[in-house]
Amino acid sequence: MLEARAFEPEYLRKLDRLVLGIQRARTVRSGQRTLGRIQGLGIEPENFKEYAPGDDLRFLDWNAFARLDELMLRTYRADRQVEITALVDASASMGLPERDDKLGLALAIGASLAYIGMADNDAVRIGAFAMHRGAMKLEATPFHRRRESYLNFKPFVTSVRAGGETRLGAAVDELLLQRRPAGTVVVISDFLVNEGDVEDALKRLVAARHDVKVVHVMGEQESTAAYPSGLYRVRDAETGEVRETVLGPAGVAALRRSVEKIAARIREICMAHAITYAQAFGAVNLESFMERELPLLGIVR
Partner 1 sequence: MGLLNPQNVIYGLSLALLVLIYLRSRSRPTIEVSSLMLFDEAPAPAASVRHVRIDPLFWLEMLTLAALTFAIAGLYVMRPPSPGHGRSHALVFDLGAGMSAREGAGTRIDQARQQAVEVIDQAPPGDEFSVIAYALEAQMRHPQTANLADLRKALGDLVPMAVPARTAALRAALIRARGASEIDLFADRPPAPAILADAGSTARVNFHPVGSGDSNLAIVSLDPGIPGSTRARAEIRNFSARPLPAELAIDLGNSEQFHQTMMLAPREQVVVGFGPLPAGGLLRARILTPDAIDADNTRYAYAPSEVAAQVLVLSPDAAVRDDIARVLLAVNANFQIETADPAKYVAPSGPNAKPLELAVMHDCYLPAVKAESTLLIYPPRAAKNGIGISVDGTLVSADIRGDATGESTALNSLALGATRIVAIPEWMDLLATATATGHSSIPIAAVGRAADGPVGVLAYDVRDHLLLAPDHLDALVLTVDLIKQLTAPHDILIVPTGADVSVPATGTARVIQPDASVRSVAADKWGRVRIRPLQAGRYTVESGGVTTQVLANYYDAAESDVGAKPQAEPSAPVRKAAAASNAQSAKEVQPLVFILIALALIALTVESAMLIGHTGRWGMGHV
Task: Give the count of beta carbons closer than 10 Å to the beta carbon of residue 258.
Answer: 12
Within residues 142-201, the interface with partner 1 by CB under 8 A covers 190, 192-193
> Closest approach of Cβ 140 to partner 1, in Å?
23
The only residue of 35, 250, 274, 301 in contact with partner 1, by rule CB under 8 A: 250
Nearer residue to partner 1 within complex by CB, 9 or 240: 240
> 3-state DSSP call for residue 23?
coil
Given a contact cutoff of 8 angstroms between Cβ atoms, the answer to whether 41 and 78 are in contact is yes
> Closest approach of Cβ 268 to partner 1, in Å?
16
Task: Report strand pairing: 123-132 vs 83-89.
Answer: parallel
Can residue 279 be called a binding residue for partner 1 (CB under 8 A)? no
The only residue of 6, 88, 96, 171 in contact with partner 1, by rule CB under 8 A: 96
Residues near partner 1 (CB under 8 A), total: 40
Given a contact cutoff of 8 angstroms between Cβ atoms, the answer to whether 198 and 266 are in contact is yes
The only residue of 31, 183, 219, 282 in contact with partner 1, by rule CB under 8 A: 219
Given a contact cutoff of 8 angstroms between Cβ atoms, the answer to whether 203 and 175 are in contact is no
Can residue 247 be called a binding residue for partner 1 (CB under 8 A)? yes
Given a contact cutoff of 8 angstroms between Cβ atoms, the answer to whether 182 and 23 are in contact is no
Nearer residue to partner 1 within complex by CB, 97 or 298: 97
Instruction: With contacts defined by CB under 8 A, name the span among 36-44, 50-58, 130-138, 256-264 that binds partner 1.
Output: 256-264
Can residue 232 be called a binding residue for partner 1 (CB under 8 A)? yes
> 3-state DSSP call for residue 20?
strand
Give the whole-angstrom CA distance, residue 276 versus residue 205: 13
> 3-state DSSP call for residue 70?
coil
Nearer residue to partner 1 within complex by CB, 94 or 215: 94
The only residue of 259, 266, 269, 286 in contact with partner 1, by rule CB under 8 A: 259
Given a contact cutoff of 8 angstroms between Cβ atoms, the answer to whether 129 and 176 are in contact is no
Q: How many residues does the chain have?
A: 301
Give the whole-angstrom CA distance, residue 118 versus residue 97: 32
Nearer residue to partner 1 within complex by CB, 69 or 244: 244
Instruction: With contacts defined by CB under 8 A, name the span among 23-31, 144-152, 197-205, 258-266 that binds partner 1.
Output: 258-266
The only residue of 38, 207, 231, 264 in contact with partner 1, by rule CB under 8 A: 231
Task: Report strand pairing: 184-189 vs 211-218.
Answer: parallel
279 - beta bridge partners?
A: 216
Given a contact cutoff of 8 angstroms between Cβ atoms, the answer to whether 203 and 273 are in contact is yes
Nearer residue to partner 1 within complex by CB, 35 or 250: 250
Cis-peptide, bond into residue 97, ω within 30° of zero: yes
Give the whole-angstrom CA distance, residue 251 versus residue 16: 44
The only residue of 6, 12, 78, 93 in contact with partner 1, by rule CB under 8 A: 93
The only residue of 37, 161, 235, 292 in contact with partner 1, by rule CB under 8 A: 235
Instruction: With contacts defined by CB under 8 A, name the span among 8-16, 92-100, 208-216, 278-286 that binds partner 1.
Output: 92-100
> Which residues bind to partner 1, rule: CB under 8 A?
92-97, 102, 190, 192-193, 219, 222, 225, 227, 230-239, 241-248, 250-251, 254-255, 257-259, 262
